[in-house]
Amino acid sequence: MAVIGIMSALHEELAAVLADMPDEQRVVVAGRDFWVGHWQGHAVVAVLSRIGKVAAATTATVMLERFGVDALVFTGVAGGLGSGVRVGDVVVADGFVQHDMDASPLFPRHEVPLYGRALFEVDAVLSLQLAKAAQQVLQAAEQHLGPDTLAQFQLSSPKVHQGLIVSGDRFVATSSESQALREALPAALAVEMEGAAVAQVCWDYGVPFAAVRTISDRADDTAHTDFNRFICEVASRYSRAILLQWLRERAPI
């Protein structure tokens, strides 16, 4: 049976996944807890990614080397950069760039040296499946979150976007920084701290990868406001619901 790797960027997301796995067993590797079990009839390994590119790359490498996962799906939150990418929306990545990679003038800005590329694309089929699942969940957002939560966070008709996500080892929390990112990488829809590293590891191993991020902030001067409450009450519920919907539709192979 194909084994699906699920990486959660946030504790609360992982807790929601584990609550749905009836038989998970903990295996500790590299100081990380990997949870091996089943979800919706699929063989699954779930883990917390940890924060930042290096930590997430180590976690992904163990997933692929030690647990031999056949596909890797990554969830978390991100700051919205693209116009119209609002708090409460979901971005399904079609590719990742490290916004803080800069070996110029030796290599073009953002290019990862010796790879000959800046952009690491995700698996198109997996991403399409996740985008479809996200669409279904957001259409029923009220059912997943409750009307009070929608009102509290002023979420009205949340949308699913597909496009570029950029990653770097920095929580982007000023308008000047997010504006600089928009200028450097105009196609970027969202910014976070892990995805590009995991995309690169999966590219190295040739393992299908996809990622879904709920927009928690606009990467501006108010980026930290209500961050923790948003994660508990919105992002972790969306992540669980999107993964559940995706696994239900995906026949175990």
Nearer CB in complex with ligand SAH: 42/47: 47
Report the SS3 class of residue 136: helix
- Residue 160 or 235: the one with the smaller Cβ distance to ligand SAH is 235
Determine, following the binding rule CB under 6 A, whether residue 89 of this chain makes contact with ligand SAH. no
Cα pseudo-dihedral 46, 52, 53, 57, rounded to 10: -30
Q: Which of 46, 40, 43 is nearest to 27 (CA)?
A: 46
Q: In whole angstroms, give the CA distance from residue 64 to residue 62.
A: 5
Among 13, 89, 111, 192, the active-site one is 13
Are 242 and 158 in contact by the 8 Å Cβ rule? The answer is no
Minimum CB–partner distance for residue 122 and ligand SAH (Å): 16
Does residue 219 interact with ligand SAH by CB under 6 A? yes
Per CB under 6 A, which region of 36-44, 70-78, 133-141, 147-155 contacts ligand SAH? Answer: 70-78
- Which residue of 4, 7, 10, 64 would you call a contact of ligand SAH, by CB under 6 A? 10
- Give yes or no: 192 in active site: no
Question: Applying CB under 6 A, does 76 fall inside the site for ligand SAH?
Answer: yes
Nearer Cβ to ligand SAH, position 100 or 102?
100
DSSP conformation letters of 8-56: ESSHHHHHHHHHH-TT-EEEEETTEEEEEEEETTEEEEEEE--SSHHHH
User: Nearest approach, Cβ of 191 to ligand SAH (angstroms)?
Assistant: 5
The reply to whether 82 sits near ligand SAH by the rule CB under 6 A is: no
By the rule CB under 6 A, 189 interacts with ligand SAH: no
Annotated catalytic residue 13: yes
In the chain, what is the straight-line distance between the N-terminal and C-terminal CA atoms, in Å?
5
Residue with tokens 């067993």: 25
Residue 167 identity: S
Could you tell me which of 238, 237, 231 has the C-alpha nearest to residue 216?
A: 231
Q: Is 133 in the site for ligand SAH (CB under 6 A)?
A: no
Binding to ligand SAH by residue 51, rule CB under 6 A? yes
Which residues in this chain contact ligand SAH in the complex, by CB under 6 A? 9-11, 51, 76-79, 171-173, 191-194, 216-217, 219, 223
